[in-house]
A and B are shown apart, each in its own frame.
Chain A
Amino acid sequence: MENKWILLVEDNADDEELTRRALKKNRILNELVVARDGAEALDYLLGVGNHAGNNIDNLPTVVLLDLKLPKIDGLEVLRRLRESEKTAHVPVVILTSSKEEQDIANAYKNGCNSYIRKPVDFVQFNEAVQNLGLYWLMLNEPPVRT
């Protein structure tokens, strides 16, 4: 069984730290890989650019994708992931500050699996991360790799 790991696409270091903290507090100890912008995330997942030669067969169990990202924004990342045969079925959870209807609609249109708004209240954020980890890492059956 492959190692279950998480790809967090997040440019804000504070948010990254808070996410890590929430995961840790909820004893989700799976590997957390962080991409600082959309381009890096794509390079990493598709094994191109700076991450050429990356073992792209080992896909993350879930991608936590922020929408507002430097270089390539979250929606574009999502669109390209869905375009690529390899990553078309990777579970992608949008984890963002925005509650704009347009964003939610576009995210689902581009094939996200879930949309979670980051609460300001860390207690709530903590709960969200806990539920998220429980659901995507424990309950959810990931797509079968070919």
Chain B
Amino acid sequence: MNFELNDEQQAFRHVVHEFVAREVKPLARHTDETGEFNWTAVRKMGPLGLLGLEVPEAYGGAAVDPISAAIAIEELAWGCASTALAVSAHNGLALGPVVAYGTEAQKEAWLPKLATGEGRLAALSLTEPGAGSDLQGGVRTTAVKQGQEWVINGSKMWMTNASIADLMVVLVRTDPGGGSKSLSHILVPADTPGVIIAPAEKKMGLNGSPTHAVTFENVRVPLENLLGAEGRGLQQTLSTLDSGRISIGALAVGIAQAAYEAALKYAHERYTFGKPIAQHQAVQWMLADAVTEIQAARLMVYWAAARKASGARYTQEAAMAKLFATEVSERVCRNAIQVHGGYGYSREFEVERMYRDTRLMTIGEGTSEIQRLVIARAIGR
């Protein structure tokens, strides 16, 4: 058993860390306060490989291993959770299924420009007003074959990246009869007539990661835009979410690391009763717990990623990593505010933003409760 990253992974971490420290972290507050997506940094991510993490090199991707992909998202989240979420959703949720299930023609049409940052980003569209965790029974967006086209109608909710995407991977019902083989994925270019993107949702945090309701009104795309096999949409989604959970776990670790570092720094600067608060045991314990829990969460995330890399089944490991890392992150961010005292509640200090940002992590891509359900099912087999 080896707990060290290999040379390549260490080099990746260093490059991404440097990039994020220079291009992403300094803009995190501005991104949150204005809701402006950090295109300046994202444009520079293409040549680095951050926009095609697990895309094969033949399509302009970086083709890094799953641990390196997790490291990239972790480091991005250390700088700015909003930007990290957009990049994570683009890579894992949207490009992931195109790489896994796309035809050669689909890959050639979409991956090079999306992976190199020449175009905009990509989005996965699952959730609907009546369908979140219960996709199989809840998805009402339909795609009906008419001649050589699919005609799509319905409403989606909480689509991350919708307004900054060129491509939407949309989960639709292709068999009105229902059941586990009634859903399919269809590739929808975002500029297709009938795709109506509502104004960005007003959220508690992650304000620089645009989230939208999207309506599909008689949206017509060619039949060959079907992604993967007809009727396999649910299975493809669940598999995509397994991978996405590693990414959200990594994102949570990155936010927690940033909050911990901020708390540690502040604890050495702030004096009470004649000494830095870092010398008061009550504060020391919070910091010791934080660094311990973050390390445990990080190892779980890398472990799930290593399972994925080895080709083993990793549904349970990804769910455990996501559950643990996101709960840890919430706790660490909460205590980082506690260490800052009143200042921590002020927008002047970044831990306030981190706490709001990390709150989504126990909800998005499967709530903590769903993760427990997934784990319980896996151990009950």
Binding between chains A and B: no
Show the binding face of B for A, using Cβ within 8 Å: none
Show the binding face of A for B, using Cβ within 8 Å: none
